[in-house]
Homo-oligomer: A and B are copies of this chain.
Amino acid sequence: MFSKSTEYALRATLYIAQKGSEEKKIGIGEVAKAIGSPQSFTAKILQSLTKDNKIICSISGPHGGFYMTDKAKKLPVRSILEAMGEDEFLDKCVLGLDKCSESKPCPMHSKYKIIKKQLIGLFETETILNLASNIKAGEVFIKLK
């Protein structure tokens, strides 16, 4: 469904949301290990999430690392997809028609729109904090071997 980059972005963000805070920042090494991702590549991805988009904060130097503000933790999962440039698929048509619409639908439109609405709902309703708290509770996992 998503690119590797976005998968890592989602897992890393959830890990940082769960484990980190402004007082306890998380190093890239710990993040990569915890989610099972290539460290340098994950670093690039986190860099992009700290840029303009205000999802993750980072501090260089000793005791530095990544963390999220309480406000950022309340963002919907979709905001991560947006930051990774992978949310446009929620607007897109199964057959790849730019102008697919209610008045000019593709052959899958009417059946798919019902599913798409649920997908959008899922990514807009679930917050980062929401998902992260289930990790803390040990109910769900972000790394599996």
Contacts and interface: CB of A to CB of B under 8 A. Distances in A.
Copies of this chain assembled into the complex: 2
A100 B1 CA distance: 14
Interface string A129-143: 001101100011111
Contact of A142 (B89, B95, B139, B142): B95
A55 to B, nearest CB: 16
Contacts of A115: 115, 118-119, 122
Nearest to A4: B96
A134 to B, nearest CB: 5
Interface in A24-82: 77
Interface size class of A (residues with CB under 8 A): 35 or more
B131 A108 contact: yes
Interface string A79-100: 0000000000100101111111
Given A119-B115, A122-B112, A145-B99, A140 B1 contact: no
16 contacts: A1-B92, A4-B96, A8-B96, A97-B143, A99-B144, A100-B141, A104-B144, A105-B140, A105-B141, A107-B142, A108-B122, A111-B122, A111-B126, A115-B115, A115-B119, A115-B122
Q: Which 8 A-B pairs have the closest CB atoms?
A: A7-B96, A107-B131, A99-B144, A107-B140, A97-B144, A115-B118, A105-B140, A1-B89
